[in-house]
Amino acid sequence: MAPDRAIAAQARPEQEFFCFRVADLRLAVPSENVLEVIRTGLLTPLPRTPSFLLGVTGHRGEVMPVMDLLRFLGKGEARVGPRTRLFIGTSGNYRVGVVADAVLGLRRIPVADILPPPLGGDAAAEHLIGVAEGLVPNETVALLHFTKLLQSARQRAVLR
């Protein structure tokens, strides 16, 4: 029985996503873009930066920018409180803390089950790999292209 299951897994390649919630949005990024989850520490605001950059925080001897995805995607504003978490997102040599209201965990999804981003979507749609049903029970989860999102955020911050 086990060899059949192994063959079935090869026939349906899967991708692992880190799922989280910010306000009413259920989001996920590829797990390879997430190093760890930490409590929100002291945030130091920076002058003359885009509104989606809440400031910087120190983590393991490194000063890291902290990003509000709601502001970046034009979906509102995250509220940072005592229960807020940051996930340390990475792409290449860049690291950023991303605000999350709740961590929903790691989920695997067959690549074939990833649906394309909705047509006629808003500006946030350009940063989507697609959407998935069932990663979180009874919810649709937006799958973010984290590398592209981080590149776009860096460009917006530099162009300011």
Q: How confident is the model at residue 2 (pLDDT cuts 50, 70, 90)?
A: low
Rg (CA), the chain: 17
If we measure between CA atoms, which residue out of 144, 119, 112 comes closest to residue 129?
144
Q: Please state, rounded to an integer, the average pLDDT across all residues of the chain.
A: 87
- The end-to-end CA distance of the chain, in Å, is 59
Q: How confident is the model at residue 100 (pLDDT cuts 50, 70, 90)?
A: very high
CATH assignment of 14-156?
2.40.50.180
Strands 85-91 and 34-39: antiparallel
If we measure between CA atoms, which residue out of 24, 23, 20 comes closest to residue 34?
20
Q: How confident is the model at residue 117 (pLDDT cuts 50, 70, 90)?
A: confident
Instruction: State the average pLDDT over residues 115-132.
Output: 79
Q: How confident is the model at residue 134 (pLDDT cuts 50, 70, 90)?
A: confident
What global pTM score does this model have? Answer: 0.85
Residue 95 has pLDDT above 80, yes or no: yes
Residue whose tokens read 């079935």: 8
Task: Name which residue leads in pLDDT, 38 or 158.
Answer: 38
Supply φ then ψ for residue 88, to 5 degrees: -85, 105
What SS3 class is residue 127? helix
